[in-house]
Amino acid sequence: MIELRSRPWVLLSSLVALVVFVAFLIFPLDHEHSPVEYALEQPHSYKAPRQNVWAELTESEAADVNAFILKEFAHLDLKKHPKSARDNFIYIVETLKPNKTDAVSYLYDDGPSPPERWAKAAIAQNLEDGPYIIYYMVGPLPISKDSMILPLEYTFNSGRNYVPNPIQDFAAIQDFASAMAENVSDITQELLGATANRADPNDPHGLLAFPRGSRIETGGFTLWMQFYRPGMGSGARTLLPQGIYAKVDATSSDINDWSVGQFYYNGVVYEDAEEFRAALDDPDFERTPANLDGPWTDTEDFESHPAGRELPPPVSVQPYGPRYKLDRKERYVSWFGFEFYITTAQATGVSLFDIRFKGERVMYELGLQEAMAHYAGDDPMQGGLEFLDTFFGMGKNAFELVPGYDCPAYADYLDSEWHQAYQTHHTPNSICIFEYTADYLLSRHTAQYSVTVSRNTFLTVRSVSTVGNYDYTIDYIFYMDGTLEVKVRASGFIFGAFYTANNTKSEDEYGHRIHDALSSSMHDHVINFKADLDVAGPTNDMVRMAIEPMTSTYEWDQPEQPKRNTMHLVEYQVTEETGIDWPKNSGEFYLVYSSDKKNAWGERKGYRITSGTGMGSTPHLTIFNSTTLGDSARWAEHDLWVLQQKDTEPRSADPLNYFAPHDPIIDFTKMADHESLEHGAPDTSYDGDLVIYFNVGAHHVPHSGDVPNTLMHTSASSVMFVPHNFNDRDASRESVQGVRLQLQGKKSGGFAGEEADPNDDLKTRMGRRSKTLDKTKAKYFGATYDKGIKLPLEALEPNMEGYVSKEHGVTDLSYNGSAAGVWHREEAFGG
């Protein structure tokens, strides 16, 4: 992990505060309460109103849970340091998030006690018919004589709390791949100029075989293995596919019964290695160039010096300290009307709970559910490639953020912990919180004699998850008017395809040629989030408010215009659980209304759900009935879904769906099963508490500009939740910073809030006004920067020389992200 000896950016806020404090002792502000005084009194004493009941287990809690399981499950002979695939061991322990129905009385009804705290455990357990991963619930916490271990079943709609683990022995698969590569080393040397190095699989001059597993509906397992070069510099393995593929029959549960069958090269299938070798001697055999590493995969250029690069770019600073309040212990944030709790999970990363605005409920929960990538292509790797990234861990792969780059240097940073195989893993500074002012205004208006402008300042909670070849930046953004935005940007190496020289290949059908022997590979990113909306309370309705054309007759229009073509609003109630796509021409508003709360004007309080900023509308999966995904990700088939809230349906997916795509432990189709969303009738138990699942992502067709890395501004997408009659007026007016310029002119008038004396006659008022006509006047709303200040260099460019670099445990997108790989890594790295 990246660590810091002195953590200069952690010291930065104190340094800046000291410099600013001294500066203002010399140059005091005229304000009654200076920004420096405000900043100095904020961060350290602030306390959350309630306990964070969703917080991840502490290290001591995790240790107690592990010890309790080892004692109570002594009959399983659970190993602390598993040494083989047949060992049973505790894979993960983490918080079992409380049921919403148990949390609401504590949160909203002033209940005296928080809900019981429980842990979730996944155990890698061998049964008679093979290895399984089995979920249990452990609690109540803290561990006591009343604590127990129960099968965790109620959160899964499959009727079971386990999945079979088809990857019984990750190390054995690696060995099998290496043996296969050695057996065809003459072929790889002839065609690729390299062979696999079994002693060092990551030899930059060697080859490795990367498996793509596929669960088939009839049962069993099929592997295609493609040769890759490991990548010498920036970890560019997925840019270095080679053109040889081997098919492995892995249908047997015993790896000793696996066999290598067909080979595929340059559009031709060979039944076995011998047929492949024989083809090499054919004078008409058509070869493809090897895909070689080189400077073209480097993610940076230290040599170029275009004009302007010798100067650093502008940066944002925060001279007076943060304006938000943060309770670090409870991970509670308050900022200009918004309040919320932060928590983490090793599969899904950062989630937010109990989001309120101006004291009113907006959302109970907002968080990632799954991140899916589905590829297409005409070779054995790309043709069936897909990833469900929570399997590898969006939370445990959220690495340390780089101050001044991932986040402004002045950001606040939070650490995270996760617990796997009896160890607590601590990731420093994996979450940042910061306020930022956009390069565009929140609002402005120019009148004849005045100009009013308002700065657009927002709050961001950010993390970056690096899952194999992609880095996902995930933002939760809060705006002063009550808008929330969930935004995802991606960067990193694409998963490229080998470019074949076979002239039967259909050019540009699946991507573009982007290097000597590399083609891009089209794929869909569909990233699923849950938004448990409680708009002004838990009882809500969803409507589609359509903007529709119409022809109408108006009495005032007669007789000149007998009929008028116009448009109007038509509201359609969403009466059952369903999936919805973004409308053509943005012709509908998707609104979640309070069923009983109205604003001052008698309108229902609501929030609008809309595709937000980024590269066009957010997408859903292009493929119908994916033969690869099966039923593991049906949430990807529409842009958003509306469902009943149920404690038994807390998530749309589970990481272990990756192991059983055709019989997933959570099947979303059983959740979105068209149950009624109508409430209030005597014959229904539904209380109006609904949940939205929505997707962000991209239809990614990589091109030459994606080499070496995809760029974040070209791969961004978001969904926004915008107040719709939720407030009586624009709520940002009381919080925003800006200025009104009153311009010169005989009829210019005064400023807002300045009332004329009713006793003045017209001549007196005009005389008073004429005294101000010789200059433009300015009046500020909110504080301003009134005096110059000095900032330390670290406020502009943090010193990176203080870092101590350690190896990241980034998954290679193989099976080492699973329980099957844990014991192998434990053994390899000495336990």
8 Å CB contact between 339 and 52: no
Q: Which of 809, 246, 813 is nearest to 493 (CA)?
A: 813
Per-residue model confidence as pLDDT tens digits over 39-52? 444 556 899 999 99
| E-only strand ranges, 29-129 | 89-96, 117-127
User: Within 13 Å of residue 362, how many CA atoms lie on the same side as its CB?
Assistant: 27
Residue 688, both tokens: 């109006």
SS (H, E, C) 102-119: HHHHHHHCCCCCCCCEEE
Place of tokens 């953590």: 7
Given the residues 264, 470, 590, 693, select the one marked as catalytic. 470
Calpha distance 172→830 (Å, rounded): 18
8 Å CB contact between 182 and 196: yes
Contacts by 270-277 with C-beta closer than 8 Å and gap 24+?
273/183, 273/184, 273/187, 276/184, 276/187, 277/186, 277/187
Sign, CA dihedral 662-663-668-670, equals positive
Share of the chain above pLDDT 90, in %: 69
Give mean pLDDT, residues 745-769. 59
**198 DSSP 8-state letter:** S
464 forms bridges with which residues in the sheet? 473
Per-residue model confidence as pLDDT tens digits over 786-824? 888 888 888 888 888 766 556 666 666 676 666 666 655
Per-residue model confidence as pLDDT tens digits over 536-587? 999 999 999 999 999 999 999 999 999 999 999 999 999 999 999 999 999 9
**Side chain identity at residue 483, one-letter code:** T
8 Å CB contact between 553 and 653: no
Task: Report the SS3 class of residue 308.
Answer: coil
8 Å CB contact between 428 and 6: no
Q: Domains for the chain: give ranges and CATH numbers.
A: 59-152 (3.10.450.40), 170-297 (3.10.450.40), 325-437+454-732 (2.70.98.20), 738-781 (no CATH)
Given the residues 389, 481, 532, 812, select the one marked as catalytic. 389
Per-residue model confidence as pLDDT tens digits over 235-283? 788 999 999 999 998 888 788 888 999 999 999 999 999 999 999 999 9
Give mean pLDDT, residues 26-36. 37
Per-residue model confidence as pLDDT tens digits over 90-104? 999 999 999 999 999
SS (H, E, C) 220-231: CEEEEEEEECCC
470 part of the active site: yes
Give mean pLDDT, residues 116-122. 97
210 pLDDT band, cuts 50/70/90, is: confident
Task: Report the SS3 class of residue 617.
Answer: coil
8 Å CB contact between 340 and 507: no
In degrees, rounded to 5, the angle at the alpha carbon of residue 321 between the alpha carbons of residues 317 and 323 is: 105
In this structure, the strands spanning 457-467 and 803-804 are unpaired
387 forms bridges with which residues in the sheet? 373
Calpha distance 488→715 (Å, rounded): 8
Q: Which of 270, 372, 377 is nearest to 635 (CA)?
A: 372
Place of tokens 């600073």: 317
389 part of the active site: yes
Per-residue model confidence as pLDDT tens digits over 632-656? 999 999 999 999 999 999 999 999 9
In degrees, rounded to 5, the angle at the alpha carbon of residue 236 between the alpha carbons of residues 184 and 613 is: 135
